[in-house]
Amino acid sequence: MIARKVPHMIYGGDYNPEQWPEEVWDEDVRLMREAGVNLVSLGIFSWAKLEPRPGEYDFDWLDRIISLLHENGVMVNLATATASPPPWLAKLHLESLPVTENGVVLYPGARQHYCPSSAAYRERAAELVRRIADRYAEHPALAMWHVNNEYGCHVAECYCDASAAHFREWLQARYGDLDTLNEAWGTAFWSQRYGEWDEILPPRAAPTFANPTQQLDFRRFSSDALLGLYEMEKEILREATPDVPITTNFMSFFKPADYWKWAAREDVVSDDSYPDPADPEAHVGAAMSRDLMRSLGGGDPWVLMEQTTVRVNWRERNVPKRPNEMRLWSYGAVARGAEGIMFFQWRQSKAGAEKYHSAMVPHVKPEDSRSWREVKQLGAELGKLDGLLGARGEAETAILLDWESWWALELDSRPSAAVRMLEGVYSFYKPLFEANVPVDFAHPGSDLSRYRLVIAPNLYLVTDEAAENVRRFVAEGGTLLMSFFSGIVDARDHIRLGGYPAPFRELLGLLIEDFVPMAAGARNTLDTQDEGSYECGLWADLIHLEGAEVVASYKDGFYAGTPAVTRNAFGEGAAYYLGTRPEERYAKSLLQRVCEEAGVKPTLEAAPGVDAVRRRTEDASFLFLLNHGEDAVEVGLRGSGRDLLTGEEHDSTLTLGPLEVAILQEKTR
């Protein structure tokens, strides 16, 4: 359960009552009841109203709205309000403003205009949080804490002098002395050797490529600097309310923050997610984010903290969700472990930069709006799903994801700037999604023993421990599928010498002599051992076999006839290697082969466009069926079940209309 005080599926949104006269609040709570709202995230951007002048606090309005919500049965996910400092902070402390790598100061007037290392920001934020925590600690409406908002969304790193000093402290803790740092950063190159700590700077705009290890460490530091702010607030809240769960909202696959580290420090994982309705594959990317959120929390339930009812305001063209699409995507999240569905925001603003962003309560009268009807319908339905609480996913496949490797892979001066982490991840995720194979994400250093199949897309940077962990997984009987440019560097971004990919050569049974990054649009052909022929592009490894068998080889180029895809028996398991980016059709067939070999089964074999996901409790099993397609489809079932949404019993088959969903409580399996 996410929060003891809301022992149901959570339903609600960001609530910004400070934007409205108090008369509107009565209508708000009436409509919240009508929609089945049981939790709102309150006061996220209210610092300037709570502390209108430095040290002068006004909590009366917040007292009134919290009580009103409580009287109406709506619990509160109370924000710490530190995401957007009032303009007076910048006036008093110009140095609290963030600075870009080009030395540009980011001024107030939007939001998130603070340097994560600013002492003034920290002090003022801590004081505000203390006051909020003390004042509302015992309030019966307080169900959860919402720390700050989307850390790093606009300002993920700061290059000012305070950040430089903080960076140096962080480096001292990591390396101890300058010799070790010089060695780690490889400063013998280009005369970069540091003689004193205060010579070290963040990687500010420089004549050409900055030192890659400096860049990598700055990414680590920047994630940690933000995390330090979160921890500061968390400590204050924990002391005041040891039992109230604490979260801060993530942004799906957000590169600047190492969410494995972050999630370990949260009581509940929560995510903000805005798939683009104009993208025909939006639901696939969304599912991938949902699987990440569940995985970050170790399989525990999580909250979809923000999504939009219809459209956003911040794309070039803000295409709306189609009727029923919001409902379908919401269930896509519930299927993958969400036990809270919330929106940005409750009532659509009438002023400010987000007035064209849809909300639960639109500008037009609710009764005239299809989105309000959808909001009410979803609220009513979620109210029937208490039986799902605590049901968990059942993936036997894990995709490895490591933020440090992601950062290092995408630094500049690599063999190909076109190799992007998430594209690699997606190239495996999509075929698995389409085959209804459940997937977790896992850190390469984590316990992999519960999985049958592990996929390692472009695992460029690996520590010795992670490399050993992956080897052990295969040695003990697991199946591995690893793709190109893996195992190339250590945690310092130094090449692991001894022939690529040094830590995995024995495991994969091969040696890579060199890489062939391909020109934009260039293609090669993969000839498979069973006489198949497929396209590939982006990259080719020049592979020499050292025990592995060939699964496919290149047809063209100076390396024609050399292996592109291999398989190596290792210990009790097997390790596949994919030295290129194949077309989707091949990724599909290769994944099918490795799944079969690993004994990984799909949740259900269904028509294209049908997403089938199972969640289980100890004594119940729930099968989610979601039709993302434009046409009605018939789904064959392995047993019978009752649809929790309609109450209907289904036996052996079920017809799903376009964008329709069913949640079957299964009778037999």
Site for ligand GAL in 188-217 (CB under 6 A): none
Q: How far is the CB of 356 from ligand GAL (least distance, A)?
A: 11
Taking the C-alpha atoms of residue 633 and residue 655, their distance in angstroms, rounded to an integer, is 6
Q: Residues 80, 84, 148, 149: which binds ligand GAL (CB under 6 A)?
A: 149
Member of 159, 274, 473, 624 binding ligand GAL (CB under 6 A): 274
Q: Which stretch binds ligand GAL (CB under 6 A): 51-59, 145-153, 376-384, 648-656?
A: 145-153
Instruction: Indicate the residue among 306 and 541 with the shorter CB distance to ligand GAL.
Output: 306
Question: Which residues between 612 and 651 bind ligand GAL (CB under 6 A)?
Answer: none
- Of the candidates 277, 298, 289, the one whose C-alpha atom is nearest the C-alpha of residue 336 is 289
The pairing of strands 453-456 and 649-656 is: unpaired
**Structure token pair of residue 117:** 């290392």
| Spatial separation of the C-alpha atoms in residues 206 and 210, rounded to whole Å | 7
CA 205 to CA 210: how far, in whole Å? 8
Answer yes or no: are the C-beta atoms of 334 and 286 closer than 8 Å: no
Distance CA 613, CA 368 (A): 35
Under 8 Å between Cβ of 221 and 258? no
CA end-to-end span of the chain, whole Å? 26
Kindly give, in sequence order, each residue whose CB lies less than 8 Å from that of residue 545, ignoring residues fewer than 6 positions away: 509, 510, 563, 566
Q: Determine the Cα–Cα distance for residues 164 and 172; give it in Å rounded to an integer.
A: 12
- Name which of 221 and 344 has its Cβ closer to ligand GAL: 344
Handedness of CA 470, 597, 548, 406 (dihedral sign): negative
For 230, the 3-state DSSP assignment is: helix
Site for ligand GAL contains 272 (CB under 6 A): yes
Tell me which DSSP letter residue 617 carries: -
- 614 pairs with which residues across the strands? 623
Q: Least distance in Å: CB of 153 to ligand GAL? A: 5
Query: Of 128, 125, 661, 65, whose CA–CA distance to 346 is shortest?
Result: 65
d(C-alpha 380, C-alpha 394), whole Å: 28
- Residues 6+ positions from 454 with CB-CB distance below 8 Å: 397, 398, 399, 400, 442, 448, 470, 473, 478, 479, 480, 481
Are residues 650 and 613 in contact, defined by beta-carbon separation less than 8 angstroms? no
Q: Which of 116, 501 has the CB closer to ligand GAL?
A: 116
Among the listed ranges 124-132, 146-154, 286-294, 437-445, the one in contact with ligand GAL (CB under 6 A) is 146-154
Catalytic-residue membership of 423: no
Interface with ligand GAL, residue 306, by CB under 6 A = yes
Q: Is 319 in the site for ligand GAL (CB under 6 A)?
A: no
With both helix axes pointing from N to C terminus, report the angle between 325-335 and 370-382 in degrees, rounded to the nearest 10.
Answer: 30
**Rounded to the nearest whole angstrom, what is the least distance from the CB of residue 66 to ligand GAL in the complex?**
20
Confirm or reject binding of residue 312 to ligand GAL (CB under 6 A): yes
Q: Find the binder of ligand GAL among 8, 93, 336, 357 (CB under 6 A).
A: 357
Q: How far is the CB of 148 from ligand GAL (least distance, A)?
A: 10
Q: Closest CB to ligand GAL among 31 and 305?
A: 305
Which residue has 């994982």 as its token pair?
269
Indicate whether 344 belongs to the interface with ligand GAL (CB under 6 A): yes
Min dist. Cβ of residue 344 to ligand GAL (A) = 4
Nearer to ligand GAL, 167 or 344 (CB): 344
3-class DSSP state for residue 372? helix
Q: Could you say whether residue 374 binds ligand GAL (CB under 6 A)?
A: no
Helix axes 370-382, 22-35, angle to 10 degrees: 60
- Least distance in angstroms from the C-beta of 227 to ligand GAL: 18
Q: Which of 51, 157, 266, 306 is catalytic?
A: 306
Interface stretch with ligand GAL, choices 149-157, 389-397, 410-418, 605-613 (CB under 6 A) = 149-157
In 3-state terms the chain splits into helix, strand, coil percentages (rounded to 5) of 35, 25, 45
3-state SS class at 225: helix
Query: Looking at beta carbons only, is 327 or 357 nearer to ligand GAL?
Result: 357
271 binds ligand GAL (CB under 6 A): no
Q: 151 or 451, CB closer to ligand GAL?
A: 151
Site string (452-491) toward ligand GAL, x via CB under 6 A: ----------------------------------------
Question: Which listed residue (51, 150, 157, 434) is catalytic?
Answer: 150
Give the residue among 8, 475, 13 at the shortest CA–CA distance from 249. Answer: 13
* Beta carbon of residue 362, minimum distance to ligand GAL (angstroms, whole number): 15
300 binds ligand GAL (CB under 6 A): no
Q: Tell me the Ramachandran region of residue 521: left when phi exceeds 0, alpha when psi lies from -120 to 50, beta otherwise.
A: left
To ligand GAL, the closest distance from the beta carbon of 278 in angstroms equals 15
- In the complex with ligand GAL, the residue whose CB is nearer, 325 or 404, is 325
Residues in the chain: 669
Q: How far is the CB of 6 from ligand GAL (least distance, A)?
A: 21
CA-CA distance, 360 to 463, in Å (whole number)? 46
**Contact status: 156 vs ligand GAL (CB under 6 A):** no
In terms of CB distance, is 285 or 503 closer to ligand GAL?
A: 285
Q: Is there a contact between 147 and 267 (Cβ–Cβ < 8 Å)?
A: no
Nearest distance in Å: CB 479, ligand GAL: 38
Of 55-63, 148-156, 177-185, 380-388, the window that binds ligand GAL (rule: CB under 6 A) is 148-156
Which positions ≥6 away from 281 have C-beta within 8 Å? 430
Is 381 one of the annotated active-site residues of the chain?
no
Task: Please select the residue that binds ligand GAL; options are 25, 129, 148, 150, rule is CB under 6 A.
Answer: 150
Which of 48, 153, 411, 418 is in the footprint of ligand GAL by CB under 6 A?
153
Closest contact distance (angstroms) between CB of 354 and ligand GAL is 6
Helices 212-240 & 161-175 angle (0-180, nearest 10): 90
Please work out the total of residues on this chain that contact ligand GAL, with binding judged by CB under 6 A. 10
- Listing DSSP states for 236-304 in one string gives HHHHH-TTS-EE-EE-SS-TTS-HHHHHTT-SS-EEE----TTSTTHHHHHHHHHHHHHHHTTT--EEE
Residue 275's alpha-carbon distances to 294, 523, 649, in angstroms, are 18, 30, 33
User: Any bridge partners for residue 479, and if so which?
Assistant: 453, 574
Which residues on neighbouring strands pair with residue 578, listed in sequence order?
Answer: 483, 565
Q: 75 or 312, CB closer to ligand GAL? A: 312
| Minimum separation from the CB atom of position 312 to ligand GAL (A) | 5
Q: Which is nearer to ligand GAL, 4 or 355 (CB)?
A: 355
Q: Which CB atom, from 86 or from 582, has the smaller least distance to ligand GAL?
A: 86
Residue number with the shortest CB distance to ligand GAL? 344
Active site residues: 150, 306
For ligand GAL, the binding residues (CB under 6 A) are: 149-150, 153, 272, 274, 306, 312, 344, 354, 357
